[in-house]
């Protein structure tokens, strides 16, 4: 009879542990959860820890610290052993300029807290203010999360991975020449542009509580990208006030983008069962009708119950069920998974850890390991009692009245299905030139295109060398 294992301590002072002991604990946790590289497909994880150190301001709801918490949970469970982990490089000015205007990028690169008063007119013009403040290291921050999404997209397009993850990305509100909604650079648009070089169609799905307006606007006039956004909608009081059911692309059917902007506007308080049913019925139909070559999924965690800015009553596993469903319907299509909103950091971390596990096909135990750094952030009844999956749908004082009816939800489904009748019949969903106003890279000369390919070859070689230094599969290099 095997001896009963010693009970795990409730908390370990990880800072005082030797590195060898930390690695032993993580290995043991990975064994306990059966963490192995998935069979039949590859998952890559793209991250640069420098993104964690930036700060929007003491009272600002966006906390890049949530990325550190997410990373610590992912590493603490040993999920890195199931993925190829890359340290991403910052995006270059030239890469960001494939979507954003030169004047806007000039401003991002020069303004800082010490000189911001000299740039008041530009701050107003480019959307800076309470939501999008000027802060130290702003250019580094945007180039870091933008670079991670670009690297993830290229890893998919080079068939080095089937699923690529960048939790620092997914900042869907940024416009071509304006910051918006805590977003300064639209890494999603940049990644989709990269994917369009290899695929005729890309599907973008957004489960953030806020409408994915920046991505929708960027691809408004093309039928090569279909955007599908599930979000809280109230044009009077809830940001950004767009994404109504009648906003389906350009109004004229002759415009190629008509019927390719799909919106699922929701009211307060939607629950797990309603959201899951809605997501499966609509997203499945969109995948079938649009038949994308690649899929991008934005996993904003502000749609969870109890979020500081959210209005839904979703639990972590219901949010993750959307990731699992899209993964199940990819059928050999590359899948890019990105972060997004989320303003209760401990629950953002729990959710993105869970969804990383879903990507690699792992099941995690529900009690957070004792060796995880900053575990105290997850302790106490108000913080989830040290659990990976605390109940979020019924938090006292934070539960929102459910304002949905079966009839109203059925109308949302029918509205999208009506739009899909036009998508099925669209004659121009083939490889075609993208509109000039959204992608200057597509309009540049063939010489520039060849230069970019040569640059990419150099990046791929550097990525190969970094990969060789990676830990690999669990036990593979030990």
Q: Mind listing the pLDDT tens digit for each residue in 149-161?
A: 999 999 999 999 9
pLDDT above 50: residue 468 = no
**Average of per-residue pLDDT across 271-277:** 98
Write down the pLDDT at residue 395.
Answer: 83
Answer yes or no: are the C-beta atoms of 477 and 23 closer than 8 Å: no
Does 208 show up as a binding residue in the annotation?
A: yes
Tens-digit pLDDT profile for residues 158-195: 999 999 999 999 999 999 999 999 999 999 999 999 99
Number of helices (H), then strands (E), belonging to the chain: the values are 14, 8
Does 124 show up as a binding residue in the annotation?
A: no
pLDDT above 50: residue 474 = no
pLDDT above 70: residue 411 = yes
* Confidence band, pLDDT 50/70/90 cuts, at residue 424: low
Which residues, at least 6 apart from 96, have a Cβ–Cβ distance to it below 8 Å? 105, 142, 143, 146, 185, 190
* Confidence band, pLDDT 50/70/90 cuts, at residue 253: confident
Report CA Rg, the chain: 22
Write down the pLDDT at residue 450.
Answer: 47
**Average of per-residue pLDDT across 29-56:** 96
Does 267 show up as a binding residue in the annotation?
A: no
Which of 3-17, 22-36, 120-134 is predicted with the least confidence, judged by mean pLDDT?
Answer: 3-17
Write down the pLDDT at residue 470.
Answer: 44
| C-alpha dihedral sign at 233, 238, 243, 244 | positive
Write down the pLDDT at residue 12.
Answer: 62
**Average of per-residue pLDDT across 34-57:** 96
Does 181 show up as a binding residue in the annotation?
A: yes
Give the global pTM: 0.88
Write down the pLDDT at residue 10.
Answer: 52
Does 457 show up as a binding residue in the annotation?
A: no
* Confidence band, pLDDT 50/70/90 cuts, at residue 6: very low
| C-alpha dihedral sign at 334, 339, 341, 347 | positive
**Average of per-residue pLDDT across 224-236:** 97
H or E element: which one contains 348?
helix 345-360
The CA-based dihedral angle spanning residues 237, 243, 247, 250, taken in that order and rounded to the nearest 10 degrees: 110
* Confidence band, pLDDT 50/70/90 cuts, at residue 397: confident
DSSP string, 225-238: EEEEEEEE--TTTS
pLDDT above 60: residue 385 = yes
Which of 54-58, 163-167, 264-268, 436-440 is predicted with the least confidence, judged by mean pLDDT?
Answer: 436-440
**How far is residue 467's CA from residue 472's CA, in Å, rounded to a whole number?**
8
pLDDT above 50: residue 436 = no
Which of 33-37, 41-45, 95-99, 462-466 is predicted with the least confidence, judged by mean pLDDT?
Answer: 462-466
Which residues, at least 6 apart from 344, have a Cβ–Cβ distance to it below 8 Å? 304, 306, 307, 308
**Average of per-residue pLDDT across 200-213:** 98
Write down the pLDDT at residue 431.
Answer: 52
**Average of per-residue pLDDT across 190-202:** 97
What are the residue numbers of the active site? 173
pLDDT above 60: residue 8 = no
The CA-based dihedral angle spanning residues 279, 282, 287, 292, taken in that order and rounded to the nearest 10 degrees: -90
Name the average pLDDT for the chain.
89
Phi, psi of 180, deg, nearest 5? -165, 140
Does 223 show up as a binding residue in the annotation?
A: no
Structural domains of the chain in order of their starting residue, each with its CATH number: 38-468 (3.40.800.20)
Which burial class, exposed, middle or buried, applies to 211 when counting CB atoms under 10 A from its CB (0-12, 13-18, 19+)?
A: buried
Answer yes or no: are the C-beta atoms of 249 and 420 closer than 8 Å: no
């Amino acid at each position: 009879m095997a001896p009963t294992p010693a009970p795990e301590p409730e908390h370990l002072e990880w800072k005082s542990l030797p590195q060898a002991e930390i690695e032993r604990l993580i290995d043991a946790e990975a064994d306990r959860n059966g963490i192995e590289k998935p069979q039949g497909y590859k998952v890559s994880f793209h991250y640069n820890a420098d993104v964690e150190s930036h700060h929007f301001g003491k009272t600002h709801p966006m906390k890049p610290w949530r990325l550190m918490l997410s990373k610590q949970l992912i590493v603490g469970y040993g999920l890195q052993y199931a993925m190829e982990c890359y340290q991403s490089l910052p995006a270059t000015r030239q890469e960001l300029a494939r979507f954003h205007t030169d004047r806007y990028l000039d401003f991002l690169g020069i303004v800082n807290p010490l000189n911001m008063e000299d740039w008041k007119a530009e701050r107003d013009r480019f959307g800076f203010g309470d939501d999008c403040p000027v802060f130290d290291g702003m250019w580094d921050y945007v180039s870091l999360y933008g670079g991670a999404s670009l690297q993830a997209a290229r890893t998919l397009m080079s068939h080095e991975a089937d699923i690529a993850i960048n939790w620092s990305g997914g900042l869907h509100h940024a416009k071509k020449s304006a910051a918006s909604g805590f977003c300064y650079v639209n890494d999603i648009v940049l990644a989709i542009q990269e994917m369009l070089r290899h695929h005729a169609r890309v599907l973008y799905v957004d489960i953030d509580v806020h409408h994915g307006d920046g991505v929708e606007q960027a691809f408004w006039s093309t039928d090569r990208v279909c955007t599908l956004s599930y979000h809280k909608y109230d044009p009077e009081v809830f940001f950004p006030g767009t994404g109504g059911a009648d906003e389906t692309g350009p109004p004229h059917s002759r415009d190629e983008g008509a019927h390719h902007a799909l919106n699922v506007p929701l009211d307060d308080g939607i629950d797990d069962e309603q959201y899951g049913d809605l997501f499966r019925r609509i997203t499945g139909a969109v995948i079938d009708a649009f038949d994308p070559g690649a899929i991008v999924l934005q996993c904003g965690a502000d749609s969870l119950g109890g979020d500081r800015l959210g209005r839904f009553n979703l639990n972590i596993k219901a949010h993750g069920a959307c990731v699992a469903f899209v993964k199940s319907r990819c059928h050999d299509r590359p899948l890019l998974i990105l972060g997004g909103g989320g303003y209760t950091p401990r629950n953002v971390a729990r959710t993105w850890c869970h969804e990383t596990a879903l990507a690699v096909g792992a099941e995690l135990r529900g009690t957070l390991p004792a060796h995880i750094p900053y575990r105290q952030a997850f302790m106490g009844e108000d913080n989830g009692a040290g659990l990976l999956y605390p109940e979020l749908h019924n938090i006292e004082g934070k539960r929102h009245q459910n304002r949905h009816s079966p009839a109203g939800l059925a109308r949302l489904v029918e509205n999208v299905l009506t739009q899909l009748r036009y998508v099925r019949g669209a004659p121009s969903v083939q490889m075609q030139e993208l509109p000039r106003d959204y992608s200057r890279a597509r309009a540049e000369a063939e010489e520039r295109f060849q230069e970019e390919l040569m640059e990419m070859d150099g990046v791929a070689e550097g990525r190969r060398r970094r990969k060789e230094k990676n830990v690999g599969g669990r036990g593979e290099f030990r």
